[in-house]
Amino acid sequence: MLVAYSFIGLSCASAAPVIADVQIAPGATSTRIKLIASESVSLKAFVLSNPDRLIVEGPDINFQLPPESGSMAEGPIASYRYGSVSPERSRIVFDLAKPVLPGDIVTTPSAGGGAYSIALYLTNSDRKSFEKAASATAEAMLKLDAGSAQTSGPLVDTRPLIVIDPGHGGNDLGATSPNGLFEKDIVLAFALALAKKIEAQGLCRVALTRDQDIFIPLDDRVKFARQRGAAVFLSIHGDTITASNEIRGATVYIGDDKSSDADAARVAEYENKSDSVGGVVSQPTDSTIADILGDLTHRETRIRSSLLAREIVTRIADTTHLNHNPLRAAGFRVLRAFDIPAALIEIGYMSSKSDLDQFTSPQWTDRMANRISDALYDFLLPSRNGGTLAQDTGQP
Ligand SMILES: [Zn+2]
């Protein structure tokens, strides 16, 4: 592929360096990825497993890639996507068809002047070495996380924060299954597994509104996420229906003052009773919440919440039974932070024996947590098609 770009105009348009092409040259034992950039950019590369990815991380980058970029026909790289993970950091994520390990990164000014060629060399690897490298990455990320929690120094973890909200707790049991299991326990166990999975994946930080059996008012859950500047808020619940124990499957809701259907309205009404069950009086005039309610028309967050919900449904579809209409909207009080993309996952029905069997299966929990973690990852690090963060950076 021949590339002849002039960067004179581009580098004036934005302070961030431009990456204008990604060229991938697979060989028998190694692969070269060449990035064409407007200036010398400091990049680091590492791998993560589950799914296998190579991540190239750098400062804020203005991606101006040709429209055909993103999918590969051959070689160890199946596809790639790119975007900002924070105002200061960008990533290109290469989905791997085969394990590879990153080697040297060599930057050279192009002969014509103006552009720089950044070559990253990958060598084919075996599964064991790849897993070893991937777990070293995850460990280093966790250490960074711990370090930034202990010091207020320069080590600031800028990874996006996912707030996971296990529903109910304490004297608010939530739904009770026919065999006496409580929703509050099921969703806490699932939320803890999901948090662990996201942490292991290493791309996001996680905070739980509760990690034990305590009652938390709905508005406090919302405040918890807002005060920490969450990138995503995910509430976890288990549905119930008395009419039939045949009905089963997961449903993903977004918050909306207008319900998508009567069932969604019923679920929201039920979940919104948490405060009165838990023994607190909801404060509809609370100033923070009033401010949030003022943003009810915040269209962009609603669109992003819809994208988030869609990513989750798409990802979990091969792992769990879905409700016949798995994407719904209703006025959940806990989804009222309309400046944070938010979704409420009813992971299944407490009233369904099949769903209950899943909730208590470690294999299902692990796979489901994996899929949701992947969905979050896709949502926060989108490809050029329908990407949220890539669009939000205001880049052309
Ligand atoms: Zn619930």
Give me ligand 1 centre to Cα 219, in Å: 15
Give me ligand 1 centre to Cα 243, in Å: 17
Distance CA 63, CA 373 (A): 25
Give me ligand 1 centre to Cα 226, in Å: 21
Cis amide prior to 51 (ω within 30 degrees)? yes
Question: Strand pairing partners for 344?
Answer: 235, 253
Give me ligand 1 centre to Cα 239, in Å: 6
Q: What is the pLDDT of residue 51?
A: 80
Give me ligand 1 centre to Cα 345, in Å: 9
Give me ligand 1 centre to Cα 184, in Å: 7
Give me ligand 1 centre to Cα 224, in Å: 18
Q: pLDDT tens digits, residue range 334-366?
A: 888 767 899 999 999 999 999 999 999 999 999
**pTM of the full predicted structure?**
0.60
Give me ligand 1 centre to Cα 183, in Å: 7
Distance CA 287, CA 289 (A): 5
**In the chain, which segments carry CATH 2.60.40.3500?**
8-130
Q: Does domain 159-380 have CATH number 3.30.750.24?
A: no
Q: Does domain 8-130 have CATH number 3.20.20.70?
A: no
**In the chain, which segments carry CATH 3.40.630.40?**
159-380
* Helical spans, DSSP H, in 64-180: 127-150
Pairing state between β 250-255 and 322-330: parallel
Read off the pLDDT band of 144 (50, 70, 90): low
Instruction: Identify the residue whose tokens are 């166990």.
Output: 189
Give me ligand 1 centre to Cα 254, in Å: 14
Q: pLDDT tens digits, residue range 172-184?
A: 999 999 999 999 9
Give me ligand 1 centre to Cα 69, in Å: 42
